[in-house]
Structure 1
Amino acid sequence: MKNEMKTTYLLFIISLFTQLSFGQVITWLPNFPTDSDSITVVFDAAQGSGGLANYAGDVYAHTGVITNLSASGSDWKYVKTNWGVNTPETKLTRIGTNLYEFKIKPSVRAFYAVPQSEIILQVAFVFRSGVQVNGQWLEGKTSTNGDIFLPLSVGGLNVAIINPVERPVIKNLNDTIMVNVVSANSNNLQLYVDGSIVSQTTSNSIEYSIITNQTGKKWVKAVATGTGGAEVADSFYFVVNAPVVVQALPQGNRDGINYKSATQVVLSIYAPEKDYVYVIGDFTNWEVDPAYMMKRTPDQFRYWIEINNLSPGTEYRFQYLVDGNLPIADPYSEKILDPWNDQYISSSTYPNLISYPVTKTSQIVSVLQTGQTAYNWQVTNFQKPDKSKLIIYELLIRDFLATHDYKTLKDTLGYLKLLGVNTIELMPIMEFEGNESWGYNVMFHLAPDKYYGPKNELKKFIDECHAQGIAVILDMVLNHAFGNS
């Protein structure tokens, strides 16, 4: 009898979460949990990154919270264990094929031991295998390989569009979009498409199907009304693809960022066997905009776009969104933003570093800037030392200087000159993963790593080296390209 009750309970849980999941990586009850609630989370290993799909071993949660004191979405607080440490309270319970249950109890605040003085905004997860497989951990993350977040509510009147899950929503003509809305403590629930009511109820949920019969962009909005006329809303947009324009890349352009004038760039990316590519960024408010769908070259190898009306000297952050679910930076970028490591770069090392668009996207972001002031080289006739007479000092900036920046390095040349050095070999200074590294784990070969300072400070350092008769050699690792490349 006990086993029958357990089986019935598991089937009930699986059935319930199947109704609410619609393909998302995690689902949870209650729908609008607060920090004082116990939460039941179900993880679908077949969704998202799929790194734990069909894995037969034990699965554990690497989990913490995002609070009002977190610097970014990667700044987890009150993490339960160090990575790779298995504990009973972080072990998931298998409840079906690729389905696992995880309980946060007796409450979120108690489970993570968060002081009352902090506001818990989200619960954060990365699910992993209990042991390494072929030398590495198997991980369950989002479809873009990001961390998984469960938002917390403050209670009271709430509304959420729980389907579609994957955002942004990009469809083709004559596709169907299933919209599911849930609310709490509402007297009336309405669903709008581009400002027109398409469904209304006094219950706490709506299911509605949208047929994509027109290309372009539309907004869907759910509004819940509570006692006294109070309203809360949730919304999303969807884009219906127009046919990709096929047109040759204009002559004189190549892959990467092509600066055509102080207000115009041409972007080109090598992306064979991809169906479509959009550019998203500051100039689209980080939304998918049909006007920024890239053209495809006749050989189907490249996508490109011309962007106009840029402000000279202004830095614009952007990414390519490939096939609607893969945000990537331009591999030829001269400057990138890193959501995991930029936060540890001080303003004294890199003054006025443009911020990562934390709430807008994930993964590495490119930066373009038209109308840049060209560096004025002071030494234009440097004579390199004879190859047979090189006295080389191989230098790792972060080990050589506590300040780890080009500006301070420039001021130490007198010391190196006293040693008889006539050549400085800089260990890799291209953007590598992390901040403190030898630099051989390169991810962007043409972008100087910001942990050492701005690119013009690098140029000033080289200029001063030449002024003192010192050559500069860069340690190049073109055959190394790591995971974020």
Structure 2
Amino acid sequence: MKKITFTFLLLISTFSFAQTLSWQGGITPEETDSAVLLFDKTGTGLASYSGTIYAHTGLTIDASTPWQNVIGNWGDNGVQPALQLVSGNVYKLDLTPTIKQFYSYAGIGTITSINIVLRSADRSQQTSDLEINVGAFQVSLTSPTVNSTTIISSGGNLSITASNTNGNANYVLKANGTTINTQNNIASYSFTHTNLTSNQNYELEVTLASTTIVKKFSVLIDPVTAFEIMPTDYQDGITYLNDTEAVLVLFAIGKDFVYVAGSFNNWQPNASYAMKRDFTRNNKFWIKLTGLTSGQIETYQYWVVDKTPIANSPSLVKTADPYSTLVLSPFDDPFIPSSTYPNLPAYPIGQDREVSVLQTAQTPYNWQVTNFAKPKKEDLIVYEVLIRDFDADRNFQDLIDKVDYFKNLNINAIELMPVMEFEGNESWGYNTAFHRALDKFYGTEDKFRELVDTFHQNGIAVILDLAFNHAFGRNPMVRMWMNDPDGDGWGEPSIENPYFNETAKHSFSVGNDFDHSNPFTKNFVKSTLKHWIEDFKIDGIRWDLTKGFTQNCSESDFNCTDSFQADRVAVLKEY
């Protein structure tokens, strides 16, 4: 969720001069106090709204980890708190009996601010993301910025400056868990860490009385990428070599270096986890992982660096593998029932955004039908299914259990609306983020294979609905080359993006628009089709929004989009 920081020069309780957010009484409360939060809707997205206002709200801990202990889910009027009208445009939210108890916070960190988005009852109107401080003791990290990663050459230095309010405090700086500097009884801190030759994760602990606030930041050392030609059978994504070795390959044109961080290096990669580059294969990055434990689930991300990014593009992007077949999400996974996905791998603590999963020595699925005879296209009788709405449990098992129902309808094919990893858990699926991964809300890979196998045993073909016109914002191929002017880690394709158009070349745009004239996009689509057909024995594809495959039109030209375009026909024939 985007975070906007508001600086309060003066907190006053007179409504005629109230800020968007303020504390009743004009005094910033401590986390152990009860408090009344005031909201003035003037000039916000709720200015014209007169109904009940609800709060989507959570906490920032230690001034570095926002949106913790969020109350309820977005749009849940039965759980998320409602504000009360005070007078005019001013509303209040009582945080009782204390701020900590209101948010059910029992952690060891200190609440330093409250994050909040105010919305209408029907969710059609809302404010931007708002924030207000908690506690008189606040710490400001001036350089580098909080949660930032600084890219430096080996042997370089990092200067650290910070300050605090409410009196003198004690400062302790740790690098990779080891204390490297201590300064006591000060309100302004400065230190330079010199001659850095390895990646560093820093924690600056600032203690005043019994309260400690922690600021985190890191350094990545430019490893000076080595060039080496990889074997020709190493494919994009994961190539399993044996029970203890796997190869990762990433196409990241224009990037300077890439680290692989994961459970196998405790998410603290050193120079040995810097990927090599193969100049004979479009400068793809690659690395061989050795010493893996046979059958053990591992998680990983790519840390992709551009030392000289174009304006509004990030220097560092931490991303899952675009070729992931299993993705873990901190946003969606907590709400997936264990009955649907038993033993779902845990999301790694301390990481951010999606991570990929690899596992050597996986047991192959035992297919019962290996020679299914597909019905002719002209003989198809198709039942289209949205798994989410088909039955109460909303998963692959529901369809398996109802195979007799489908068989008795005398159909010979089911078409599944998109089951690839999409954003959120409840969707029609067209907001796809990872085209090669199944959405876990519906079940496991082997359960999906069992579904296909079961329907084949009953003479029913399985067709997948694929949304290859576009991808949504969590997609790694969007994020590695994106415009991100506010620095929140999300954005839209930049001019450098090799897969996506900056603006759609058709009038039916949703998500981020794939450029199907580009060989990189074509290769990705072809390999993804191969994945679903060979690994899951899918019988056919329903192509979504193929009018968007053209490069000849514009967002505003419906007549062009709606008319015959030879380039999109040629692309579909190629696929």
TM-score, structure 2 as length reference: 0.60
**Aligned equivalents of 1:106 and 1:353: distance in 2?**
37
1:19-70: CA deviation from partner (whole Å, max 9, x where unpaired): xxxxxxxxxx999953439899xxxxxxxxxxxxxxxx768997622499xx
Preserved contact between residue 44 and residue 127 of structure 2 (Cα < 8 Å): no
2:408 maps to 1:427 = no
Aligned AA for 2:261?
A: I
Q: Which residue of 2 aligns with 1:480?
A: 470
Following superposition, the deviation at residue 424 of structure 1 comes to: 1.2
In the superposition, relative to structure 1, how do residues 236 and 481 fare at CA in structure 2: closer, same or farther (>3 Å)?
Answer: closer
In structure 1, what is the Cα distance between the partners aligned to 2:266 and 2:149? 16
Secondary structure in 1 matching 2:323: coil
Quick check: 450-459 or 218-227, which moved more?
Answer: 218-227
Counterpart for residue 456 of structure 2: 466
The equivalent of 1:171 in structure 2 is: 151
Q: Is the 8 A contact 1:67 1:119 kept in 2?
A: no
- Corresponding residue for 2:71? 77
Matched to 2:256, the amino acid is D
The yes-or-no answer on 1:330 pairing with 2:321 is: yes
**Aligned pair 1:209/2:196, yes or no?**
no
* Alpha-carbon shift at residue 179 of structure 1 (Å): 3.5
Q: Per the alignment, in what secondary structure is the counterpart of residue 361 of structure 1?
A: coil
Q: Is the 8 A contact 1:186 1:224 kept in 2?
A: no
Once the 2 structures are TM-superposed, how far is the Cα of residue 320 of structure 1 from its aligned partner?
A: 1.2
1:388 corresponds to: 378
Secondary structure, in 3 states, of the residue corresponding to 1:260? strand
Residue 307 of structure 1 pairs with residue 289 of structure 2: yes
How far apart, CA to CA, are the structure 1 residues paired with 2:8 and 2:59?
31
**Secondary structure, aligned partner of 2:31:** coil
Q: Distance in 1 between matches of 2:403 and 2:389?
A: 16
Query: Any residues of structure 2 matched to 1:183-332 within 5 Å, and which?
Result: 189=171, 191=173, 198=181, 200-211=183-194, 213-218=195-200, 237-298=218-279, 301-323=283-305, 325-332=316-323
> 1:240 is paired with a residue of what secondary structure?
strand
- C-alpha deviation, 1:371, in angstroms: 1.0
The aligned counterpart of 1:143 is: none
Q: Judge conservation of contact 1:431–1:442 (CA < 8 Å) in 2.
A: yes
> 1:318, 1:365 within 8 Å by CA — same for their partners in 2?
yes
State how many pairs are aligned.
419
What amino acid does structure 2 have at the position aligned with 1:346? P
RMSD, matched Cα: 4.9
How far 1:456 sits from its partner (Å)?
Answer: 0.4
Q: Distance in 1 between matches of 2:144 and 2:94?
A: 28
Q: Which residue of 2 aligns with 1:412?
A: 402
Contact 2:60 2:68 in 1 (8 A): no
Secondary structure at the counterpart of residue 406 of structure 2: helix
Deviations 1:156-184 (A, max 9, x none): 9x989664334353331335432436597
The 1:116–1:241 alpha-carbon spacing in structure 2 relative to 1, beyond 3 Å, is closer
Structure 1 residues 381 and 187: CA distance shift in structure 2, 3 A: closer
More deviation in 161-170 or 385-394? 161-170
Query: Could you say which structure has the greater relative contact order, defined with CA pairs below 8 angstroms and 6 or more residues apart?
Result: 1
After superposition, the C-alpha distances for 1:274-309 in whole angstroms (9 at most, x for unaligned) are 222222221232234333222233366422221111
* Structure 1 portions without partners, runs of 5+: 1-9, 15-28, 41-56, 90-103, 141-147
Pair 1:426–1:111, CA change in 2 (3 A): same
- TM-score after normalising by structure 1: 0.70
SS in 1 for 2:199: strand
CA distance in 2, matches of 1:80, 1:408: 27
Q: Whole-Å Cα distance in 1 between the matches of residues 300 and 187 of structure 2?
A: 39
Residue 247 (structure 1) shift: 2.4
CA pair 286-476 structure 1, distance change in 2 beyond 3 A:
same
Q: Equivalents in 1 of 2:337, 2:473: separation in Å?
A: 25
